[in-house]
Amino acid sequence: MKTLIEINNISKAFGKKVIFKDFNLEIKEGQKVALMGANGCGKTTLVEMIAQFSKPDSGEIKINLEDNIKQEIGIQLQEGNWPTGITAHNMLDFYKAVYPKLTKEWEEKIKKVFEIDEFIDRPLKKLSGGQRQRFNAMISIMNNPKIIILDELTTGLDMELQFKIIDFFSKNTKEFNQTLLLVSHHPEEVEEMCDRLIIIKDSKVFYDDSIVNTIKKHKSVRALMDKFFKGEI
Ligand SMILES: Nc1ncnc2c1ncn2[C@@H]1O[C@H](COP(=O)(O)OP(=O)(O)OP(=O)(O)O)[C@@H](O)[C@H]1O
């Protein structure tokens, strides 16, 4: 398996607050990696650097892709500061112009999965939290890219939609051998969608093992996280 994402000795601070110090990580092509850890440990900061939204202060992040990297990394948007009046329809038109690979068939498929038609012509600013979450998650898969980054995928979604969307990403990432980075606080979703678990603590990788081994050793991801937060591992 080729190494797709190489993070070499990166450091990142906001003012005096050090988030990462000499941080290293390798992610192989096709791996489905969960990033877990306490609030504020740096998960979002890390995935935003991988998605090239921001840069480390030192060190490097290498994405080993020959294609246009920007087209091949799909990231779930965080709460967008949408201009007043912009609708999901307008945004879809924009993405169609940006992503030449996006076919009508794929567009119809993902609109159905995320149930976008229900609010497609309403301003994004006026949508409910769950509707915005669905739209923001759909953006990550518009181009069906090689690397998918999901940050708190299911927050605010009702149970039916959670099951449907988790099931969609689980199947799709396997079918297309996509590499997944899932920032999550939900152990069950991690077990279903991922094959590797990384816990970040004190600006380092604190835990890194396969989900299979984690379940063998700790019974479940939930049990492991319980021990982690109690300081028992
Ligand atoms: N642009 C910024 N300016 C200043 N501080 C920031 C900025 N972005 C993040 N931080 C700080 O960096 C730290 C890491 O934030 P980050 O959002 O990466 O954590 P996280 O692990 O994703 O947290 P959560 O689980 O709460 O989502 C936090 O203390 C946060 O307040």
All domains of the chain, ordered by start, with CATH?
A: 3-76+140-229 (3.40.50.300), 82-139 (no CATH)
Is 16 close to ligand 1, i.e. is its CB under 6 Å away?
no
% residues pLDDT > 70 (the chain): 100
- Per-residue DSSP letter, 87: B
Beta-ladder partners of 110 = none
User: Ligand 1 centre from 45 Cα, in Å?
Assistant: 6
- The size of the chain, in residues, is 233
| C-alpha atoms less than 13 angstroms from C-alpha of 212 in its C-beta half-sphere | 2
* Distance in angstroms (rounded) separating the CA atoms of residues 1 and 94: 35
User: Ligand 1 centre from 97 Cα, in Å?
Assistant: 32
Pick the atom of ligand 1 nearest to 46's CA.
18
pLDDT of residue 66: 84
The type of residue at 103 is T
User: Ligand 1 centre from 42 Cα, in Å?
Assistant: 6
Q: Give whole-number Cα distances, 76 to 125, 139, 188, in Å.
A: 17, 6, 20
User: Ligand 1 centre from 18 Cα, in Å?
Assistant: 11
Is 155 close to ligand 1, i.e. is its CB under 6 Å away?
no
Q: Is the pLDDT of residue 81 over 80?
A: no
Q: Is the pLDDT of residue 78 over 80?
A: no
pLDDT of residue 82: 81
Q: Is the pLDDT of residue 163 over 80?
A: yes
Q: Whose CA is nearest to atom 4 of ligand 1?
A: 14
119: its two tokens: 């609010």
Q: Is the pLDDT of residue 69 over 90?
A: no
184: its two tokens: 């999550």
Sequence-distant (≥ 6) Cβ neighbours of residue 7 within 8 angstroms: 23, 24, 25, 26, 50, 59, 60, 61, 62
43: its two tokens: 């998960």
Is 187 close to ligand 1, i.e. is its CB under 6 Å away?
no
Pick the atom of ligand 1 nearest to 42's CA.
18
User: Ligand 1 centre from 96 Cα, in Å?
Assistant: 31
Pick the atom of ligand 1 nearest to 45's CA.
18
Q: Whose CA is nearest to atom 5 of ligand 1?
A: 14
pLDDT of residue 84: 86
Reported as type and span, the H/E element at residue 166 is helix 159-175
ipTM (interface pTM): 0.98
* Distance in angstroms (rounded) separating the CA atoms of residues 11 and 178: 27
| Nearest residue to 141 (alpha-carbon basis) of 74, 43, 211 | 74
Answer whether 177's CB lies under 8 Å from 162's CB.
no
* Distance in angstroms (rounded) separating the CA atoms of residues 60 and 110: 34
Q: Which of 44, 199, 229 to mutate to test the pocket of ligand 1 (most atoms within 8 A of CB)?
A: 44
Answer whether 173's CB lies under 8 Å from 204's CB.
no
